[in-house]
A and B are shown apart, each in its own frame.
Chain A
């Protein structure tokens, strides 16, 4: 029986889809059987981030309405064995799937895969409820901004109300030099406020934009700092104890970081 993990945030644009793509790809690169499920019906994006947009025939709504078999809708990612994407529907809306249908779908998928990673839509309405319906664990993605943290806090409350206990936190787009200057909340500040366990910290990094342009998750790029941070985060999901990347501005990797973040 595999694990069903939902990646959520409340606020849009904080990097849920990027995180789903990178963690999923990371897990697959560690020889796990992984399926990514895009539940953002109407605003499908995980397919383009993964570079699989040209291969979609059926989608999640086709599956739950019995229009096709689950197998037919799963798109094989050729980069790794046992790595699949179940795309969202683009022309339907979020009410095309019910919470019960999602629970059934997750049950089926977890029979076959080690990890079922669900990309949740922004917001707290039906799409969110569907996305978390079949999930056992949750990863909350936030960025060091007041709006994103506030929404993350709300989401944590809603997850608890739905009895998804102990969500884990990913802090995305951290800019160490801004933290150092006192112009951005740091890791400790955010853990202090949200009071949940930290899973990973992803630095703000241009390589994410480039990898998304290409449809190749940054986690596969050894030269990408964010990619390395995603790989470490992925390893922690599998139970490995991996220390946080050194993002100290005055640390050894200062030069590299400067280059990565693009400070002159």
Chain B
């Protein structure tokens, strides 16, 4: 009876169908992305290359991970910046 009532009141959120769908959605993001350690490493190296054009970063401390929380999957990168390049500053001056 209690189960019946909770079902009526939470019709759209707590059904096992929605749970199944949500779990599937998450697991498929990982399955499809199929992020192998090698691929993540390649991505990291590419990121370093691109970002280094603009700023000096701490390559050793750089972290790139695929993060899944409640209902989203995100690419989380923690990139410590050591120094900004001068050319960027010049650009800023021009703008102001």
Contacts and interface: CB of A to CB of B under 8 A. Distances in A.
B16 interface: yes
B85 interface: no
Contacts of B24: 146, 149-150, 193
B23 to A, nearest CB: 6
Interface in A4-38: none
Interface in A161-193: 179, 181-186, 189, 193
A170 B17 CA distance: 19
Interface string B22-48: 011101100110000000000000000
Nearest to B21: A189
Contact of A182 (B7, B27, B31, B32): B7
Interface in A191-236: 193
Binding site secondary structure of chain A = helix
Contacts of A149: 24
Contacts of B53: none
Contacts of A145: 20
A182 B21 contact: no
A153 interface: yes
Interface of B: 7, 11-12, 15-18, 20-21, 23-25, 27-28, 31-32
Interface residues of A, number: 16
B11 to A, nearest CB: 7
Given A146-B24, A150-B24, A193-B24, A183 B16 contact: yes
Contacts of A184: 16-17
Contact of B28 (A153, A183, A185): A153
Given A146-B27, A185-B20, A193-B24, 6 more contacts: A149-B24, A154-B31, A157-B31, A182-B18, A184-B16, A189-B17
26 contacts: A146-B20, A146-B24, A146-B27, A149-B24, A150-B24, A150-B27, A150-B28, A150-B31, A153-B28, A153-B31, A153-B32, A179-B17, A181-B15, A182-B7, A182-B12, A182-B15, A182-B16, A182-B17, A183-B15, A184-B17, A185-B21, A186-B17, A189-B17, A189-B21, A193-B21, A193-B24
